[in-house]
Amino acid sequence: MVFKISTILFLSIIHVQSVPVTIYNNAWFNPSSNSYLLANIYSITTLNLYSPNPPDIIKWLFDGDLNDVYGRYNGYLTNTKGQLVDNYTDLWSSPGYAGYGSAVNFGSTVYSIVDHYLYLNTTSFTISAWIWPPSNADTEDSYSNAATEDSSYFTLFSHCETPDIDKCLHLVMRAGLLYLNFYYDDAVSNTQLNSGQWYHVAFVYDRSTSQQLIYLNGTLDGSRIAKSPYTGNPNQTTLGAVPLVSWKPTNDGLIDELIFVSRVKNSSEILDEATLVAYYTFDNTFNDSGPNNISNINSTATKFDSNGQFNQALFFASSSYSYFQTTGFYYLGQSNYFYSFSLWIYPIAIGGTILQVSSSNGWCTPMIGFNQKGYLTVQTLGVNSIYTASYTASTLSLNQWTHISMTYSTTNGIRLYVSGNLQSSNIIYNNYAASGAMSTITMGNPAQWDKCTSDDTGIIQSQFQGKIDELKIYSRELSKTEVYQLSGGLSAVKQNAN
C-alpha cells in the first residue's frame, strides 16, 4: 500500500539536539520499503527544529514593534499582573537614538516577554543597547545589592530562572549606575549616568574567564570576575522588567536597538558600535554602512563616479546647488560633546564648503571647507564665536585623492589632519556651542546660505567641485594613530586588525 503525505505537523520539542528536516512537496512514501518515491518535486525546504544552542544574534530595534528583526525572538506585551496588553499608547517615543524610528518606554506597568530558551548557561554573550535614563536616574539612593529590596530600577534585559545566585541574569541601571547582575554575583559600572541624554551601554560575559565587563559609550567602565558560572536557563526572556524580583520599575526611561550576540565582542567592536555614528562608502549607494543605519538622506545634482579612492565615490557637479545631506545626528547637537570626521576628497577646483552641520532650529556652521585664500580649513562654533584652524603650508593638489580628518575635544580643541598628519589645531578656544537639537550634515554645498553666520565663518560658503569618498562620522575624538590608519586606506585598516 502506498500513502501520500499531504500535511506534516511538527510539534515543539524542548531540550533536543538540532535535527535537520527536509520536507519534499508532492512526495510519496511506501511503508513497505526503505525508500521514498519522489514524484514531481517542485519545492524542497530544509528546516532546523528547536536547537539547544544559543542564537548567534538577536536585534530588537523597537521601531514600532517588539519583534526581533530576524523574526525568531519576537516579544509580546504584558502588564505587571501577567495579562496580555493589546494597546499601550505610551509605549513608543519618536524619534529613536538615530533620529528616525522609535525607542521603547516600558514604563512602570508593562514589559515584553520572549517565549524562547536562550541557553545562556552554555555560552559567553554581549548585550548592548542605547538608553535614555529615567528622570530619577541620578537621585535614587545608592544600590545595596539586595536583590529582593523594594526599590526603583531601570531594566533593559532579564533572563531569570529563579531568584537565586547565578540563576537570575538582569541588566539594570540603579542610582545612575549600570549593573550586570547574576543575583548577588554582580558587576557595577563606575560612571554616574544622568537623565536627559542618550548613552550606549554594553554588557559582556566571558564564560571561559568568568569576566563580567560593562562598557559605557564604548569605554570599559566596570569589570570583575564572577564567583561562579552563570547557570540560569529559563524558558523565556523579559525586556523592561524582572518579574520574579520585587523591585519597582521606573516610569520614563527609553531603550533603543537592544542587541544580543552569543560571543564576546572585543573592545574595538564595542567602541565602533558606540561611536561610529555613520559610515557612507558611496559605492553606488547612499546607504549608511555603520551600526545605526541612518537613512534620512537627500541628494541633489550628485552622481556616483566609478573612480573613487575605494571603489566608487560621490561626484559633486559644478552647478551652484549640488549636495548630499543626511539627518539624525544626536551628539553633534550636544554642546562640548566630542566628534570627528574622516573622509577622502578629490577637488577639481579649489574652494567651497565640504561639510556643514545644521539643525532645524536655525543653528548652522560650515565645519570643513576652503577659506578665502584657498587653504583647507576646519572650524566650529564656540560660546563667543567661530574659531578656525587652516592648513597653510600649501593648497591641496587638484585631481588627486587626499585624506582629511577633523577632530574636536574639550582637551585639544579642533584639529586638522591632512594625509594622516596633524597639520593645524586651535586650542585657544576649546568649547563647542551646539544647537541642542538633532543635527543634519550637508556635504558639497552649504545649502543654507541665508541661515549660516557668513560674516563670522572662515570658510567661504560656496559649491565644492569634485569627489568625496569614505565619509565616517564619530561621536569621539579620533587619536593620531587612528587618523593615520584611516589615511592609509583599507590596507592599513586590515593590517591593524590582524
257-294 residue pLDDT tens: 999 999 999 999 999 999 999 999 999 999 999 998 88
60 burial via Cβ count (<10 Å: 0-12, 13-18, 19+) = buried
Domains of the chain: 3-48 (no CATH), 57-265 (2.60.120.200), 276-497 (2.60.120.200)
Q: Where do we find the cell 506585551?
A: 77
| pLDDT digit string, tens, across residues 113-160 | 999 999 999 999 999 999 999 987 655 444 444 433 445 689 999 999
Rounded to an integer, what distance in angstroms lies between the CA atom of residue 432 and that of residue 340?
A: 13
User: For the packed helices 490-497 and 480-487, what is the interaxial angle rounded to 10 degrees?
Assistant: 120
Give the pTM: 0.80
Task: Indicate whether 492 pLDDT > 70.
Answer: no
pLDDT of residue 139: 52
CB 135 within 8 A of CB 332: no
Task: Indicate whether 88 pLDDT > 90.
Answer: no
Rounded to an integer, what distance in angstroms lies between the CA atom of residue 143 and that of residue 150?
A: 11
pLDDT of residue 188: 97
Task: Indicate whether 23 pLDDT > 90.
Answer: no
CB 490 within 8 A of CB 310: yes
Among residues 142, 153, 145, the alpha carbon closest in space to that of 224 is found at: 145
